[in-house]
Amino acid sequence: MSVDEHPRNGEGPLADAPAGGTAPPEVGKTPEQKAGADAATKRSPGSTAKPATKSAGKAAAKKPAAEPAPAEPGRRGQVARRKLVWFGVFGFIFACLAATVRFFFPRAIFEPKTRYRIGYPADYGFGVSTKWQAARRIWVVRDSGGLYVIFAKCTHLGCTPDWKETDNKFKCPCHGSGFDTEGVNFEGPAPRPLERLHVEIDALGQIVVDQSKTYGGPTLTAARQAWKKEGAFVQV
Ligand code: FES
């Protein structure tokens, strides 16, 4: 080997090593100094690395908010009591409003009219007609004396008797009282004859019944007297 080929510091082939080979260890620097120098190199002016303090701030911002602390038992009880009070107040107001509305709709019983028409005299032949028994609780009777209307209410305890055509009588199903076609009681506990209702012929020629006026009496004699009165029957 010649003198020119011998490697020397900063000269010869060894001086070009950093370009492609491994950099030789720096002389006179401790490992700590080397680490500091490396860090400084990474934070060179052209570098985009952010300072460590900003990274820490971002991490803190991404951290989820702390969960709310659970309500204390005392506060929960206070809320429940408050709800109960409001419930009571609204319930009271609602009840007052309902009572006010109900006031305008009284429980009225709408009974049927006591005065009504039942048709023409020609609609009724001789005998007993039960045409209006269900609707008006009456029988229409026509005989040689005229036409009259009997109220179908037993004079014993108020049951509705049945018309027995084959027996030609009204028979009360409750205790067996019997009445003839005039309404005279002749069997059973009924104490007096059946009552008759007011009848008249109106301007149109129809029979008008007025259920508010009755004709009868405590005895058969008194009842017959009443049945002769005007309005107790109509001549047809
Ligand atoms: S109610 Fe008619 S017989 Fe008693």
Mean pLDDT of 48-54: 48
Average confidence (pLDDT) over 207-227: 96
- Are 150 and 158 in contact by the 8 Å Cβ rule? The answer is no
CATH number of 115-227: 2.102.10.10
Judged by average pLDDT, the poorest of 23-37, 139-153, 154-168, 170-184 is 23-37
Instruction: Using pLDDT thresholds of 50, 70 and 90, give the confidence band for residue 85.
Output: very high
What token pair was written down for 161? 């008797």
| Residue whose token pair is 């055509």 | 165
Q: Which residue of 175, 185, 186, 187 sits with most ligand 1 atoms within 8 Å of its CB, as the best mutation to test the pocket? A: 175
18-49 residue pLDDT tens = 444 444 445 445 555 655 555 544 554 444 44
Return d(Cα 74, Cα 80) in angstroms, integer. Answer: 10
Distance between the two ends of the chain, CA-based, in angstroms?
170
For residue 141, give the H/E element and its range. strand 138-143
Q: How far apart are CA 234 and CA 201, in angstroms?
A: 7
pLDDT of residue 217: 95
**Distance, CA of 199 to CA of 227 (rounded, Å):** 11
This prediction has a pTM of 0.57
Look-up of token digits 């009445």: 179
Q: CB of 154 closer than 6 A to ligand 1?
A: yes
Q: How far is the CA of 62 from the centre of ligand 1 (A)?
A: 96
Percent of the chain with pLDDT over 90: 57
Q: Tell me what pLDDT residue 102 has.
A: 84
172: Cβ below 6 Å to ligand 1? yes
pLDDT tier for residue 110 given thresholds of 50, 70 and 90: confident
| Mean pLDDT value of segment 104-124 | 86
Q: What is the distance between the alpha carbons of residues 7 and 13, in angstroms, rounded to a whole number? A: 7
- Ligand 1 pocket test, pick from 137, 151, 153, 154 with the greatest ligand atom count within 8 Å of Cβ, gives 154
Can you list the pairs that 86-94 forms with residues at least 24 positions away whose Cβ atoms lie under 8 Å?
Answer: none
**How many angstroms does the Cα of residue 152 sit away from the middle of ligand 1?**
12
